[in-house]
């Protein structure tokens, strides 16, 4: 044990009350940092997971048609610059099979599924609602969404697989139409009506989806919507959804279709979460600021009370930097204990918060507060505390080191 550490430890334990004060501030700072980070990122992660699970990592939508403009470079007729003037989009994917084959060759692609969408009216014996049919090929769509896991009725997807005349209806829509499995609905498009059997009811938790979408087989949708070829969009899932932007840019280049990654599609909501995490970062910064102020205060107090000891130490050959270290060690001891206890405290509170009932059913579905504890939060919390507390401690520590032993013993040190 270094002599400086020994002295620091003894100084600290002699001032138990002040030390406990700054220790509890550090514990609170670290703990609340972890809790706020865990809750904010908990909701965000859950939201992202939900939307990736329903609408995939990206969508290929419209075909791009470049309009090019040629321009003669002054004086030289055989030297021209071709410049992209604007981009024109042609709605939909005209040749889905070709595009799908190409998309599958991308290493990061997990699955791709062609979707044909159309606006319809749906009626039960009870009432009529506006809705959208999504024509899908189940064996493709399985790889791009978690539809299978969102089925709430015990029969599962079996019936939907077997019969072309069956449909998957969202929970909210089913409730509105007072539907249960095996009952029939009538879908009406531009005057033509067809009857389908409800094969299963799904619930994604996203209200907008659950109240509008009816999934039917792609071939059936083609004939219902009278679109024998093409697709409204291709839904793609990725092994690493974080790379969606890069993949999208790459695919756009290769496929000459507009490719929208989920980050762009859900820009508004993601920016809400961004704002949320900034505001929680501010709260958290305030906590750590309080912790470091408490530390500053404690150390400044100990320095004041220990000036005579500083003079004694200096008279015995302890250098200025020893004095600085003695006080920094005190901060370090408080920090070390505070980080460990704060980490445990943060984890415990996060766990407690996750038990708080909080039914949400709009953007996603949950019954409880969502927390996502990650080691990264602990690293962030502790790093922030270390940096702030050490900076705050540096001031009194250096002040202590600057004291002249002669001034102290004469009582004129300030």
Ligand X SMILES: Nc1ncnc2c1ncn2[C@@H]1O[C@H](COP(=O)(O)OP(=O)(O)OP(=O)(O)O)[C@@H](O)[C@H]1O
* DSSP of 332-344: HHHHHHHHHHHHH
β-pairing verdict for 58-73 and 233-238: antiparallel
> Of 232-240, 246-254, 316-324, 350-358, which segment contacts another protein by CB under 8 A?
316-324
Size of the site for another protein (CB under 8 A): 27
Q: Which two tokens stand for residue 75?
A: 């004086």
Nearer to another protein, 80 or 315 (CB): 315
Residue that the structure tokens 């920090």 belong to: 335
Query: Hey, is 3 helix, strand or coil?
Result: helix
To another protein, the closest distance from the beta carbon of 331 in angstroms equals: 18
The angle that helices 16-55 and 320-354 make with each other, rounded to 10 degrees, is: 50
- Contact of residue 160 among another protein, ligand X, none (CB under 5-8 Å per partner type): none
Sort 217 into a burial class: Cβ within 10 Å, 0-12 / 13-18 / 19+: buried
Structure-token pair, residue 107 = 């290493």
User: Which partner in ligand X, another protein, none is near 252 (CB below 5 to 8 A by kind)?
Assistant: none
What is the C-alpha to C-alpha distance for residues 389 and 334, in angstroms, rounded to an integer?
A: 9
Site for another protein in 82-101 (CB under 8 A): none
Among 104, 274, 308, 368, binds another protein (CB under 8 A): 308
20 is a site residue for another protein (CB under 8 A)? no
- 248 lines the binding site for another protein (CB under 8 A): no
- Decide: helix, strand or coil at residue 175: helix
For ligand X, the closer CB: 267 or 410: 410
Closest approach of Cβ 410 to ligand X, in Å? 5
Partner touching 183 among another protein, ligand X, none, CB below 5 to 8 Å by kind: none
Residue 313 interacts with which of ligand X, another protein, none, CB < 5 to 8 Å by class: another protein
Judged by CB under 8 A, which stretch of 106-114, 216-224, 315-323, 376-384 contacts another protein? 315-323
- Cα distances (angstroms) measured from residue 386 to each of 1, 79, 334: 22, 63, 10
Q: Which is nearer to another protein, 165 or 405 (CB)?
A: 405
H helix count then E strand count, the chain? 16, 12
Terminal C-alpha separation, the chain:
31
83 binds, among ligand X, another protein, none (CB under 5 to 8 A by kind): none
Say how far apart CA 199 and CA 182 lie, in whole Å: 6
Q: Which of 169, 313, 382, 386 binds another protein (CB under 8 A)?
A: 313
Nearest to 107 by CA among 281, 216, 243: 243
Pick from 14, 71, 73, 282: which binds another protein (CB under 8 A)? 14
405 lines the binding site for another protein (CB under 8 A):
yes
Q: How far is the CB of 309 from ligand X (least distance, A)?
A: 20
Q: State which residue, 101 or 319, has the beta carbon closest to another protein.
A: 319
Among 10, 69, 88, 368, binds another protein (CB under 8 A): 10
Tell the smallest beta-carbon distance from residue 352 to ligand X (Å): 58
Instruction: Let me know if 5 is exposed, middle or buried by CB neighbors in 10 A (0-12, 13-18, 19+).
Output: middle
Q: Rounded CA gap, 264 and 259, in Å?
A: 10
DSSP secondary structure code for residue 179 in this structure: -
Closest residue to bound ligand X by CB: 412
Q: 319-348 mask for another protein (x: CB under 8 A)?
A: xx-x--------------------------
Q: How far is the CB of 395 from another protein (least distance, A)?
A: 20
Bridge-based pairing state of the strands 357-361 and 213-217: unpaired
Which partner, another protein, ligand X, none, binds residue 158 by CB below 5 to 8 Å per kind? none
Residue number, 72 or 407, with CB nearest to another protein? 407
Binding site for ligand X (CB under 6 A): 410, 412
Least Å distance, CB 10 to another protein, is: 5
> What are the tokens at 88?
């024109």
* Residues contacting residue 123 through CB under 8 Å, at least 6 positions apart: 129, 177, 185, 186, 188
Please choose, from the candidates 26, 92, 36, the residue with its C-alpha nearest in 3D space to the C-alpha of residue 228: 92
Smallest separation (angstroms) from ligand X to the CB of 304: 18
**Residues binding another protein (CB under 8 A):** 3, 6-7, 10-11, 13-14, 308-309, 311-320, 322, 404-407, 409-410, 412
């Amino acid at each position: 044990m270094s002599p400086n550490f020994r002295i620091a430890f003894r100084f600290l334990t002699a001032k138990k009350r002040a030390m406990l004060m700054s220790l509890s501030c550090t514990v609170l700072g670290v703990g609340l940092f972890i809790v706020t980070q865990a809750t904010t990122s908990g909701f965000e992660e859950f939201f992202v997971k939900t939307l990736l699970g329903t609408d995939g990592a990206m969508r290929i939508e419209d075909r791009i048609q470049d309009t090019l403009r040629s321009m003669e470079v002054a004086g030289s007729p055989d030297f021209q610059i071709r410049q992209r003037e604007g981009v024109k989009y042609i709605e939909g994917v005209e040749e889905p099979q070709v595009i799908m084959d190409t998309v599958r060759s991308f290493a990061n692609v997990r699955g791709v599924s062609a979707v044909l969408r159309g606006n319809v009216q749906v009626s039960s014996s009870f009432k009529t609602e506006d809705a959208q049919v999504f024509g899908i090929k189940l064996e493709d769509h399985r790889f791009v969404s978690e539809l299978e896991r969102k089925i709430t009725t015990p029969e599962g997807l079996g019936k939907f697989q077997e019969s072309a005349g069956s449909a998957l209806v969202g929970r909210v829509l089913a409730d509105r139409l007072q539907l249960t499995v095996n009952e029939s609905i009538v879908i009406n498009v531009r005057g033509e009506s067809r009857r389908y059997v409800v094969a299963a009811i799904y619930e994604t938790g996203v209200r907008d989806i659950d109240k509008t979408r009816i999934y039917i087989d792609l071939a059936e949708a083609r004939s219902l919507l009278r679109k024998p070829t093409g697709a409204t969009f291709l839904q793609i899932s990725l092994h690493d959804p974080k790379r969606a932007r890069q993949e999208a840019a790459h695919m756009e280049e290769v496929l000459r279709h507009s490719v929208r990654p989920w980050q762009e599609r859900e820009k508004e909501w993601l920016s809400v979460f961004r704002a949320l995490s900034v505001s929680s970062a501010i709260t958290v910064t305030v906590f750590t600021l309080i912790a470091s102020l408490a530390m500053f205060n404690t150390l400044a107090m100990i320095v004041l009370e220990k000036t005579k000891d500083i003079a004694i130490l200096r008279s015995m050959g302890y250098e200025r930097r020893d004095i600085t270290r003695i006080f920094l060690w005190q901060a370090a001891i408080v920090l070390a204990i505070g980080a460990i206890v704060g980490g445990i405290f943060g984890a415990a509170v996060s766990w407690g918060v996750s038990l708080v009932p909080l039914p949400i059913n709009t953007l996603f579905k949950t019954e409880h507060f969502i927390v996502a504890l990650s080691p990264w939060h602990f690293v962030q919390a502790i790093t922030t505390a270390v940096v702030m507390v050490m900076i705050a401690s540096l001031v009194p520590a250096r002040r202590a080191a600057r004291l002249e032993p002669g001034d102290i013993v004469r009582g004129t040190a300030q």
